[in-house]
Amino acid sequence: MDLARSQRLDALPPYVYVEIHRLVAEARRAGRDVIDMGKGDPDTPTPSHVVAALHDAAQDPVNHQYPLGLARGLPEFRAAISAWYRRRFDVRVDPETEVLPLMGSKEGNLHFCLGALDPGDLVLVPDPAFPAYEAAAILAGAEVRKVPLLVENGFLIDFDSIPRDVAARARAIWMSYPNNPTAVVAPVEFYEKAVDFAQRTNTILVSDNPYADITFGGEPAPSVLTVDGAKDVAVEFNSLSKSYNMTGWRSGMVVGNPDVVGAVRSMKLNTDAGLFGAVQIASIAALETPDHVLSAQMDTYRRRRDRVVTALRRIGLAVEPPQGTFYVWAPLPEGTSSMRFFTRLLEETAVVAIPGIGYGRYGEGYVRFSLTVPDARLDEAMDRVEAADGLLPDRLPRDN
Ligand SMILES: Cc1ncc(COP(=O)(O)O)c(C=O)c1O
């Protein structure tokens, strides 16, 4: 018997990424020049004013101790988050009761489930989706029901299609736009429907919005909290990871309904002692990043997006340009398994893209390319893709 096993861990779904990592490591061992377009991890550095703020704050011995407020977060950081929500989304949140800093938003997903749900509670999770939502619910002992995101609905949740008994039992529903992996942005009208659903069914509405700044339409994507009455039912997770190239810093937040924010806070007060004070101070600087820095970043993603969409269309994939996020969600020809495509792409071009099945069964038939690869490498990857023979042979058998 394993020394350390739990039913909780055993209940997690098999991790497709384990197999992906194995195959990629094998290709590297065999000497292939692998270009990894799988990771959603910005390749450009954190803005220099943020690094400078960290450097200065790290000199101050007060930041070498437990941070003021512990897991509640520095009052100044909470105030900066509140001001950012007001500027970015025209949303007012009380920094005392409706804002909580997180060590990256992913950490908050689990603490939300542990603090707000009981074992056996029903949680609705979109499919395809970032796998952490389902994992957090399962680790908290909740029951997960998948809600399909279908191309015919623009990959938005169709609240009317959720069976009445399921809606009545649900304690929480997740949504995330701009969406990883489908790259669509949700309009405010969608959020109005979401809030209405949550109010009617007495369900906690959980929005994950880390890509709000990464949109190709010129405006930030909306927040669910712009909808009247949203705070009665909703919280929003957000993150500095993607907008400010800060994935390694672990800085994020949950804002919105004070009961739910309070539940996450109680979990964290019993689990951690908050983010490093200097990281919180540098995070304030990040939230004050001038718009031109973000738009220069978007110019880079736009250039890369155009290169990838052109290449994939050239090889015969009917790709829609992403509306937001730094991903391209490419549909494969009917009947082509995403894992087979992944394997063939790796073998023929040494390029890595994530098979859609990694995001759930409704992700099957798609593959996700990330734009967070330096320009020259991305061009090289797309040159290889365009030059490859037989990347899309007819009707590869489904293998799941
Ligand atoms: C939809 C989504 N939410 C959350 C995260 C994690 O963000 P953080 O770095 O803040 O934990 C990611 C990272 O890939 C993501 O794609």
Residue 399 lies in a domain: no
Rounded CA separation 92/230 (Å): 12
Residue among 100, 105, 111, 125 whose CB has most ligand 1 atoms within 8 A, to mutate:
105
- 372 touches 42 (CB < 8 A): yes
Residues 31 and 88 in one domain: no
Q: Write the CATH number for 279.
A: 3.40.640.10
Tell how far the Cα of 214 is from the centroid of ligand 1, in angstroms.
13
Residues 320 and 192 in one domain: no
pLDDT given for residue 396 in this prediction? 45
Residues 175 and 302 in one domain: no
Number of domains in the chain: 2
| pLDDT category of residue 400 using cuts at 50, 70 and 90 | very low
**Beta-bridge partner residues of 147:** 126
Tell how far the Cα of 244 is from the centroid of ligand 1, in angstroms.
13
- Per-residue pLDDT of 271-301, as tens digits, reads 999 999 999 999 999 999 999 999 999 999 9
Residues 129 and 218 in one domain: yes
CA nearest to 226, candidates 253, 256, 247, 249: 256
CA nearest to 109, candidates 238, 214, 276, 258: 238
Residue 264 lies in a domain: yes
User: Residue 107: pLDDT above 50?
Assistant: yes
Residue among 106, 134, 184 whose CB has most ligand 1 atoms within 8 A, to mutate:
106
Quick one: average pLDDT of 176-201? Answer: 98
Residue ending a domain, among 230, 265, 287, is: 287
Residue ending a domain, among 227, 257, 287, is: 287
pTM: 0.96
Residue 221 lies in a domain: yes
Residues 228 and 300 in one domain: no
153 lies in which domain range? 48-287
- Per-residue pLDDT of 342-383, as tens digits, reads 999 999 999 999 999 999 999 999 999 999 999 999 999 999
Q: Which protein residues are within 6 Å of ligand 1, measured from CB?
A: 40, 104-106, 130, 176, 180, 208, 210, 239, 241, 247, 252
User: Residue 200: pLDDT above 70?
Assistant: yes
Residues 121 and 82 in one domain: yes
Quick one: average pLDDT of 47-62? Answer: 98
Residues 275 and 140 in one domain: yes
For ligand 1, atom 14, the nearest C-alpha belongs to 40
**Which ligand 1 atom sits closest to the C-alpha of 176?**
1
pLDDT given for residue 14 in this prediction? 81
The larger pLDDT score, comparing residue 400 to residue 130, is at: 130
Q: Write the CATH number for 36.
A: 3.90.1150.10
Residues 189 and 231 in one domain: yes
For ligand 1, atom 13, the nearest C-alpha belongs to 40
Q: Indicate the average pLDDT of the chain.
A: 95
Residue 398 lies in a domain: no
Residues 40 and 81 in one domain: no
